[in-house]
Amino acid sequence: MSPFYSREFHDLARPHLGWVLEQYNLFDELVPNGDVNVDFAACTVRRGGYELRVGLLGSYAEDGTWLWGWANPHFEGAPVIAETERLRTLGAAGPGVPELAEGLVDLNHLPDPRLGSDHLALAAMGLLGARGLVIFNHGGRARTFLVVTDPGIPFARPGAADRVEACLRNGSLLFGDSAWDGERGYATAVVRGYLAHHGLTERVGEGGIGGVFDNGNVLTVRIGADDTLDGVEITGPDGGEPLPGPTVAATGLRRTDAGPQPEPFPSGLLPTVLPRLARALAQDLALEDHLREAGWSAGAGVEWDADTATLRYPTAAEGPGAVVVAGREIGVFDPATATWEWAGWEGAEPLRAAAGDSGHPELAADGVDLSGYRRPAHIVDILTRTAAGLGSGRGVATVPADGGRTRYVVVTDPAVPAARADLERVAEVILGAANLVHPVASRESLRRDMRALARGYFEAFGLPTLNMYGPEALGGLFGLYEARVLFSVDGTVQSVEVGLMGAPR
């Protein structure tokens, strides 16, 4: 078995894993989750009604790779990468730490690469002695990680025994690696790092490893023979009561106007959208194939003729040649005002009716204000593809309109073939649909929604679904072959793998 991380990385990171989980929990308590606004030039972020000083730690891409901030060419020499430059120096010292010294880190050897990016960021937070992490989506399923350096965030103090135990226990399991450790754990390193971080003199006795807090309480951690954590106990003059922790008022955090938080995509519309979205994107690909075969110059602009209700796609041939297909207008989007105007496409009517029935009549109105939603452009893409599918459209085209607006047109031409189940393109289609939905979906229902999205593709083409993999995957059967959609621990679509049905992945 190959190791998940290098021995050098384990040795550096493990002593920090107990206290860094404690610190991360405190940060989330002090600074509520919410919409994130970053000013990279000023090294600040706004979240949950506070403005914080931060550094760019790194980013996680859909292909399962991690890019350190210091290796991002867009920020070369910028102050915002000073923190990750420290990690780069640390990674180049001594025998070297490849996970820190290499700008791009491939996490695809991990069971869950997306979860691995969380773990890598937590380890980096500990190595930097940072005060928190801000994680946000920057498009599709990709994420950016900011390390919080703001002195207004205090360092956590040990809490009640159950909370201390949870942090130490989880820290002692976070980077377990049988390739290096066999059947042993590394709880001693975590506990000693925790004591050192809190400035506690280590005491070793028959009961285990521990230290004495400022209030006289005694922390004792029992370590098993295999270096696993067996239990945590806090006793003393205060009966083991936790030390008083910092409060928001005492931290000196800078308040800012959080403003109204953007809403996720309406959950009541998802039963209408999710079964159709991936198939609609497959139909877009079928339209592209048809146009290419007819001589369309890929990338050339498309023109809409409202008088003849046709789309003209320029061809590579000399002269004014074009592929002409029939279409109907769905609507027009104005990105400057985040407003959408429905047109008369009949496929939109059942979607608009579903919007009204689900408690969102504003989406059914002729003119829709999307400024209160996350990623209005994503919302429009989702609505238009769903409406095209509901009306048996043959693909969607976008055409520039006046005033910087974008016109959406559904192709209705029967000469364009209907999409079919395609084993070679199933990954492209499902991942494309996931990239549209993920940034606007509710975190609370992400696992359910992403499974429904994947299942919708298989059922739309009459493919049997395979539910034998539990929450980690969902399969669709293409004869003897299978497309297996893999999900991260938070429900995000991680990847789509294709192979013989039932074969190990």
Q: Is the pLDDT of residue 1 over 60?
A: no
Q: Is 310 exposed, middle or buried (0-12, 13-18, 19+ CB in 10 A)?
A: middle
Q: Please tell me whether residues 151 and 168 are part of one structural domain.
A: no
What stretches of 218-295 show up as alpha helix (H) in DSSP? 270-293
Q: The domain containing residue 361 runs over which residues?
A: 264-420
Among 371, 405, 420, give the residue marking a domain's end: 420
Q: Please tell me whether residues 111 and 147 are part of one structural domain.
A: yes
* Structural domain count, the chain: 4
Q: Please tell me whether residues 131 and 169 are part of one structural domain.
A: no
Distance CA 391, CA 376 (A): 23
Q: What is the pLDDT of residue 505?
A: 64
Distance CA 478, CA 466 (A): 11
Query: Closest Cα to residue 139, out of 490, 436, 338, 373?
Result: 436
Mean pLDDT calculated for residue range 326-344: 96
**Three-state secondary-structure class, residue 252:** coil
**Do strands 218-223 and 132-139 pair parallel, antiparallel, or not at all (unpaired)?**
unpaired
Tell me how many degrees the CA angle 18-20-24 measures, rounded to the nearest 5.
125
Q: Please tell me whether residues 234 and 288 are part of one structural domain.
A: no
Q: Which helix (H) or strand (E) holds 167?
A: helix 161-174
Chain-wide mean pLDDT for the chain? 92
Query: Closest Cα to residue 403, out of 308, 342, 339?
Result: 339
Q: Please tell me whether residues 432 and 318 are part of one structural domain.
A: no
254, part of any domain? no
pLDDT category, 176, cuts 50, 70, 90?
confident
Distance CA 280, CA 348 (A): 14
Q: Please tell me whether residues 24 and 48 are part of one structural domain.
A: yes
**Percentage above 90 pLDDT, the chain:** 76
Is residue 294 within 8 Å of 323, Cβ to Cβ? yes
Q: What is the pLDDT of residue 250?
A: 62
Q: Please tell me whether residues 434 and 416 are part of one structural domain.
A: no
Cβ-based neighbour number of residue 152 at 10 Å:
18
Cβ-based neighbour number of residue 502 at 10 Å:
12
Among 121, 155, 189, give the residue marking a domain's end: 155
Q: Is 63 exposed, middle or buried (0-12, 13-18, 19+ CB in 10 A)?
A: exposed
Distance CA 97, CA 88 (A): 9
Q: Is the pLDDT of residue 410 over 50?
A: yes
Q: What is the pLDDT of residue 3?
A: 64
209, part of any domain? yes
**Paired tokens of 380:** 């429009």
pTM (two decimals):
0.91
Q: Please tell me whether residues 272 and 414 are part of one structural domain.
A: yes
Residue 134 CA: distances (Å) to CA of 24, 46, 60, 81, 358: 10, 10, 13, 15, 33
**Paired tokens of 308:** 């003849």
Q: Please tell me whether residues 39 and 140 are part of one structural domain.
A: yes
255, part of any domain? no
Among 394, 420, 446, give the residue marking a domain's end: 420
Q: Who has greater pLDDT, 318 or 72?
A: 72
Q: Is the pLDDT of residue 158 over 90?
A: no
Q: Please tell me whether residues 212 and 173 are part of one structural domain.
A: yes
258, part of any domain? no
